[in-house]
Structure 1
């Protein structure tokens, strides 16, 4: 039977290591992102559901006996651990839970696993093209044999780098993202990782840049810094990011805006394109599978006509076209050339009338402060004092 994620997974210390006194054990904090619900949440995955492993028990009281575990109902997932076999457990969370069995204090899952348990979309533990499963990444304190299912690496973790997500010790978002970037060989894949963490509002670009500035030297750190230099807040899918990277890296054009609202000169909302170059007056759209439906396609055509009437040149791509980067770059450069030749007046703006949306830093800060208030860690006066007061923040409005 599936267990809801609120039930904690028991993770005892591994047998080979001495166990310090209970009052000296580092207890990871619960992930505050799971409690922050007072600020409108970003798009997230549903809470994971998994079957927690249990220890073999010679008495059969707390778990199956060895003879019972030989049946079809149970499946081994570690030395002395079994899991009840269900047809519904072939999912990322289940693989992570089974790899996390027997972790000692100071050890944690990291990389895509930690980010998946933080419920970020697109971190499903599979490669982009062949859809083969990535190994669960685990940081441990001593050498352990890796397998196709799990990769164990020796690493020292500080206490503030570990949080509990659904009862599983995980590295925090910054460490998890850095660990994943450091094993990524392609710069475009690395930028997609950063963009999608930002899209899930697990951190901001400013916060992750500050974290990287203090990170010790390690293999892959240069790739991480290159990815951050190309990442932006606002991309909402991997394909949007790849389209933007063709614009920047292959067409050699300046960094565009992503999912920025376009208004006419009276302040009326017109569209929110995937890519917008204010400098050239060019809009780019990526039309995925959901754009093939007739009604949706009719709305897309109507929206493109409205943007062209305001003086914007539009180009678009459908699934598969971004693989030919040279052809995609030529299409973008062609749109820029047409925009430069156009004599239509600019009748659009990206600045709305009235207060604009909160910045990602403001939303994260407000979510953290409200979480502290709900927990009773700050009083109302402290809440009002700590709430962001930028012109675009809720406190300023």
Structure 2
């Protein structure tokens, strides 16, 4: 049996009896089942929602971004489907948006919005910072082009959130490796700093990149790095010490940030680094 399947189809094919279905499997959604005790992934829940739609729905929104490879998507998000149904079960959100044929792709048998359409949907919704973080991750996974999303938006002139979409697309940077890095980048630009470059190569003597810095400004040789590991991984911590020593020897000043640092503190440290380098 598949990890997630349609119960009535399993019974009709003779793969399971009704007794086996009741005893060894649990219902996830109407007529959609999975083995008892199985830990469901976001992919499992997405497939379950699609099967519940009789394989007619198109996966969209955050669930689509996860299918397309975007990271940092919570496993318990509601699964969005573009499918005309006004009474979805708990955990599923249905929409009846206009989707053009060129805005739908296939992931195996399942229909999913294309990267451009997924970026369009996510960019129009929610707080700007959150939308940018989601599109950063999607851009890193799919390499969608901002211009293609802007062109797609012209075909949907009456969708709510188009003004926000323009702002979000101007802020997207696929160099961000986590939502925290996106947050820090936006914090810096909101505070008046020039837009930082991301994934800055630090070169070895032979000219090849040896390390990459999360973000920074090459003209003043100041970088900002987010450390979400808290040094719980000793081998990584050991490598980071050697890495930081090398980065410092070639002239970079690195401001390291962890989750516990307050915004005012971070901005003060970055300003101080700029002042010292300018001197």
The TM-score by the shorter chain falls in which range? 0.7 to 0.9
Q: Kindly state the Cα deviation for residue 120 of structure 1 after the two structures are TM-superposed.
A: 2.5
CA distance in 1, matches of 2:48, 2:198: 38
Per-residue Cα deviation, 1:363-389 (whole angstroms, up to 9, x for no partner): xxxxxxxxxxxxxxxxxxxxxxxxxxx
- 1:338-357 correspondence runs (5 A): 338-341=276-279
| Offset, 1:107 | 3.6
Q: Which runs of 5+ in 1 are unaligned?
A: 4-49, 126-132, 342-397
Question: How far is 1:307 from its partner?
Answer: 2.8
Aligned partner of residue 254 in structure 2, secondary structure: strand
Cα distance, 1:202 vs. partner?
A: 4.2
Which residue does the alignment assign to 1:94? 44
Verify: 1:336 aligned to 2:278, yes or no.
no
Specify the SS of the correspondent of 2:94: strand
Indicate the SS of the match to 1:170: strand
Query: 1:68 is matched with which residue?
Result: 19
- Structure 1 position 256, deviation (Å): 1.0
The equivalent residue for 1:177 is 119
> Which structure would you say has the larger RCO, counting Cα contacts within 8 Å and 6 or more residues apart?
1
Aligned residues: 279
- The question of 1:263 aligning with 2:203 is answered yes
Matched, 1:168 2:110: yes
Would the aligned equivalents of 1:244 and 1:256 in 2 still touch at CA under 8 Å?
A: yes
More strand by share: 2
- Aligned residues: CA RMSD: 2.7
1:137 to 2:80 alignment: yes
Does the aligned pair in 1 maintain the 2:120–2:149 contact within 8 Å? no
Indicate yes or no: 2:8 matched with 1:55: yes
Flag the structure with larger Rg: 1
CA deviations over 1:311-365 (Å, ceiling 9, x no partner): 32221112332xx222221121121111112xxxxxxxxxxxxxxxxxxxxxxxx
In 2 relative to 1, CA 295–101 (structure 1 residues): closer, same or farther, beyond 3 Å? closer
1:309 aligns with 2:249: yes
4+ residue runs over 4 A deviation:
62-65
Residues 214/260 of structure 1: CA separation in 2 closer, same or farther (3 Å cut): farther
Q: Is the 8 A contact 1:78 1:101 kept in 2?
A: no
Which residue of 2 is the match for residue 204 of structure 1?
145
Query: How far apart are 1:258 and its partner, in Å?
Result: 0.5
Report if the CA contact (8 A) 2:49-2:92 is conserved.
yes
Instruction: Point out where structure 2 has 5 or more consecutive residues left out of the alignment.
Output: none
Q: Which moved more, 1:304-313 or 1:273-282?
A: 304-313
Aligned partners of 1:264 and 1:310 also within 8 Å: no
Distance 2:210 2:85 in 1: 57
Larger fraction in helix: 2
